Structure 1
């Protein structure tokens, strides 16, 4: 059983650390990854995939980021931090390269909209608590869009929301988000996701707000 954490009166960075840890733990559950472990003021997650050996995640700038970055010379290791990209880049050696910006986003708990689909699509929702999978199919039963939600320790996170190129700009992403929200068991749970630049545009139109920038650096493999 995973440990529980109570949130009392916290400083902004402490509050971010709690939110970030809950998001990362829920994400690990949804992706069948090991749980992150406390590590030098942040969290370490050993993903052990070809694309990502491990990641270090921090709620804000700290000297430990610099120490860890100096020790690592191998590719496929990521350092992630709540904060502006330029700030993270200033903490690591030049061999580390910034990745496209991300955004930690939240939405207040509350009633969920009813998914609205254009003609020619149908929706499938499957929940094996704490994970919910939503898929939208076209008339020929080919997958058009999908996404995952995980409810854990007072948060409900949204993950891997995507629409195939042939089906974009029809509101399918918003329909996936609405269907996931409808599967949320505790309406008091804080809704959380990490968005790309493109995703941020979609989510802000349906009531989400940017809580903070979420920046990433890595060492790219040699060609």
Structure 2
């Protein structure tokens, strides 16, 4: 079977992201997809798996609503000159994938791990022995692919293997849920963790938001 293209992977990421976040269905566009998010600070996002200068400049010229985001799957240095005043650069991301497989994550001493499914999304939570938040993550299963989202470790509990614990639990859950491939967009900080767990970088992602008053 042929390897999925970046366009196909980004489409799968979009599908999983909207399930995870409860956002509106994506609207197909000639250049990718638009999503009505409807949140403070993020009213909409435009996702371009293969951005061109012409498409980006046209979107920039047509944008008037603060809180509009562009997710451009290309290097920052390539797309940054295409943006105009009022556009602000966010942390770059990396589209990553992993073959999903069964596994029983080992919970470090002093912590508990719980998980629950709802609406095709599994939520994993790590707590301390006295019930305080330590780490979390979620995974949206949409057929053969599953999208990891909102991976977070409390600063006071980092470097204790909790990020790996959450990811292994999500990967196992995705496999048991019938998915074959895990997909995520990770930060530069998260990239090291995911790479150590077998994830591969498939494309860079540049992220910009429109806030003309900032």
Provide the TM-score with structure 2 as the length reference: 0.91
Structure 2 match to 1:168: 158
Matches within 5 A, 1:38-49: 38-49=28-39
Determine if contact 2:144/2:178 at 8 Å carries over to the other structure: no
1:101 to 81, 92, 116: 92
Structure 2 match to 1:143: 133
Point out where structure 2 has 5 or more consecutive residues left out of the alignment: none
Determine if contact 1:88/1:216 at 8 Å carries over to the other structure: no
Matches within 5 A, 1:1-223: 15-62=5-52, 63-109=54-100, 111-184=101-174, 185=176, 189-223=180-214
Determine if contact 2:146/2:179 at 8 Å carries over to the other structure: no
- Partners of 2:177 and 2:112 in 1: how far apart? 26
Point out where structure 1 has 5 or more consecutive residues left out of the alignment: 1-7
- Partners of 1:43 and 1:167 in 2: how far apart? 37
| Two-structure CA RMSD over aligned residues (Å) | 1.9
3-state SS of 1:46 partner: strand
Provide the TM-score with structure 1 as the length reference: 0.88
Determine if contact 1:127/1:183 at 8 Å carries over to the other structure: no
- Partners of 1:148 and 1:36 in 2: how far apart? 20
Question: How far apart are 1:99 and its partner, in Å?
Answer: 1.5
Instruction: From the superposition, tell whether residues 143 and 188 of structure 1 become closer, same or farther in structure 2 (CA, over 3 Å).
Output: closer
Instruction: From the superposition, tell whether residues 219 and 129 of structure 1 become closer, same or farther in structure 2 (CA, over 3 Å).
Output: closer
Question: How far apart are 1:167 and its partner, in Å?
Answer: 1.0
Higher strand share: 2
Determine if contact 1:22/1:153 at 8 Å carries over to the other structure: no
Matched pairs, number: 212
